[in-house]
Amino acid sequence: MDSGVRAPTRRQLLSAIAKVGGTAALYQAMTTLGHAAETQFHGPPNLQGARPGASVIVLGAGLAGLLAAYELRKAGYKVQVLEFQNRAGGRNWSLRGGDSYTELGGATQKVAFSPGNYLNPGPWRIPHHHRTLLHYCKAFGVALEPFIQFNHSGWIHSSQAFGGKPVRFNAAAADFEGNIAELLAKSVNAKALDDTVTAEDRDKLLEAMKGWGLLDNNYKYSPSLKASSHRGYERPPGGGVNGAPIASKDLYSLHDVLDPQVWTSMGFFMNHEMQTTMFQPVGGMDMIGKGFAKQVEGLITYNAKVGKIAQDDKGVTVSWTDTVTGKATDAKADWCVCTIPLGVLGQMDLQVTDEMMAAIKAVPYSGQVKIGLEMKRRFWEEDDYIYGGHSFTDQEIALISYPNNNMFKDGPAVLLGAFAREMGAYRLAGMTPEQRIEVALAQGSVIHPESYRKEFASGASVAWSRVPWTLGCCARWNEDTRKQHYQTLVGMDRRIVLAGEHASYVGCWMEGALLSSIDAITRLHKRALEA
């Protein structure tokens, strides 16, 4: 029956939600209705009607700055980019053989990797739902290949479990699930859950536990071919006379599989940002920065150290010095997009409101440490049958990640020998580069005792708290600082707007930098048209 009152269209409904609840409520509603992309990317910005002669100066040629320069020039603005380093890409960076890198404190590393090998000190993988980055990689011709994130054959190591020895991920995960399923089945059969489980759901739950946890007909998790199909066999299926598989006999105890290293490693792959499928650029992460930089060729001034950013009602003046010649220059523009990391920006002579400066100084940066180890051969493939993915440990190195390219090739390859965080990173950052390599070799040898030192050729490390041009890896907001300072930080301060991963809710990812850039230049363009 038609009541005469038309139900709102989905577009009208979403518009109303946006007006009442803002963009966060809109995004949640769009996700619920199946309309939202995994990140808030709805296509390139639609910037039209730029005033003739309007100019923008972009500070920083990381991905946020490069995208801002590209889209603003396309819209008709006169754009200049100032970059402190002698390359574009920012934290989108690869260290290769022949490179030299000097960290704070003066330690210099001369990278000795073989041709074609590299370490990605910053970003190293791209989630499938980071659609802004994927869009521009395709548009700019940056070739991508799969990044193997989840590998059941990797190792889990805890000094507090399994006798301190590494165990295969698939065996530990299967035994965790089997033990938990058995405990839950016992609780159901003892009627301990009758207050919360209906009779119908009770049978479904028991069936689920039996199938998921690979339990036997008595709801026990015990050695069987069924359990071995998940955790691995004593003798795998084969052909001929001895083709019959033999089940693995020694299951891990509940005590061992309850070790945090087991369930945190399992949970790692369920984190939204870590779910498969993932990608990496062919040839190294810096291929993305190079691909973006090609789109704004001629706009970037390298070796430009910014010292002062001033503004008035008519425009912005940026004072910078050429780090090669020492020449000081003032650059002027109508507007400014600043992508300089906050730890560096907060130390500059910056003409913004007190509230903006307080926001800039309120956000600390993390200090991860990455160590690349070049090995003479791919022993993880040849000896352990590990092709990509990670092994996890409770040691300071935190993990070993295996290369996803050139599989089955002879010759040297670089694995990620550490991705240290928090206290592990703090301790490693206080060491010399040589000491870090020694720690990575010692701790990695716990997981690969036969090959690690024997096959080692050379190494390189980056402690992000010692990187001169960022003073940290990425911004670490918390609930209180976001509530107090985030909207100030991402707002326009007269003629200056900030962009970068620090100005997003997708922090520490390239996607966050790009999304913040699109948001910043969209608002800048609107302000410029109103001026």
Q: Name the pLDDT band for 388 (thresholds 50, 70, 90).
A: very high
At residue 11, the pLDDT reads: 47
Residue 320 · residue 305 · CB < 8 Å: yes
Q: Which residues make Cβ contacts (< 8 Å) with residue 499, sequence separation at least 6?
A: 64, 65, 68, 337, 338, 339, 513, 516, 517, 519, 520, 521
Q: Does the pLDDT of residue 439 top 80, yes or no?
A: yes
Going by C-alpha positions, the residue among 339, 319, 315 that lies closest to residue 329 is 319
User: First CA to last CA across the chain, in angstroms?
Assistant: 53
Q: What is the pTM of this model?
A: 0.90
Mean pLDDT of 396-413: 97
pLDDT tens-digit series, residues 233-248:
999 999 999 999 999 9
At residue 276, the pLDDT reads: 87
At residue 223, the pLDDT reads: 96
At residue 464, the pLDDT reads: 98
Average pLDDT, the chain: 93
* Residue 418, beta-bridge partner list: 371
Q: Does the pLDDT of residue 37 top 90, yes or no?
A: no
Q: Does the pLDDT of residue 435 top 90, yes or no?
A: yes
CA distances from 176 to 5, 182, 214, 254 (A): 55, 10, 11, 7
Q: Name the pLDDT band for 531 (thresholds 50, 70, 90).
A: confident
For residue 303, give the DSSP letter.
S
pLDDT tens-digit series, residues 359-384:
999 999 999 999 999 999 999 999 99
At residue 412, the pLDDT reads: 98
Q: How many Cα atoms are found within 13 Å in the side-chain-facing hemisphere of 469? A: 25
Strands (E), 83-180: 95-96, 100-102, 108-110, 118-119, 126-127, 144-147, 155-157, 167-168
Q: Does the pLDDT of residue 32 top 60, yes or no?
A: no
Q: Does the pLDDT of residue 38 top 70, yes or no?
A: no
At residue 6, the pLDDT reads: 46
> Which of the residue ranges 16-30, 227-241, 253-267, 275-289 would you say has the lowest mean pLDDT?
16-30
Q: Which residues make Cβ contacts (< 8 Å) with residue 497, sequence separation at least 6?
A: 335, 336, 337, 338, 491, 520, 521, 523, 524
pLDDT tens-digit series, residues 291-306:
999 999 999 999 999 9
Residue 89 · residue 286 · CB < 8 Å: yes
* Centroid of chain to Cα 128: 12
d(CA 302, CA 81): 8
pLDDT tens-digit series, residues 179-188:
999 999 999 9
CB 247: neighbour CB atoms within 10 A?
A: 18
Q: Which domains are delineated in the chain?
A: 55-84+303-363+475-530 (3.50.50.60), 95-150+276-286+366-466 (3.90.660.10), 169-253 (1.20.1440.240)
Mean pLDDT of 145-160: 96
Q: Name the pLDDT band for 39 (thresholds 50, 70, 90).
A: low
d(CA 346, CA 357): 7
For residue 235, give the DSSP letter.
B
Residue 469 · residue 85 · CB < 8 Å: yes
At residue 270, the pLDDT reads: 87
Residue 152 · residue 170 · CB < 8 Å: yes
Q: Which residues make Cβ contacts (< 8 Å) with residue 222, sequence separation at least 6?
A: 216, 251
Mean pLDDT of 448-475: 98
Q: Does the pLDDT of residue 68 top 60, yes or no?
A: yes
At residue 273, the pLDDT reads: 85
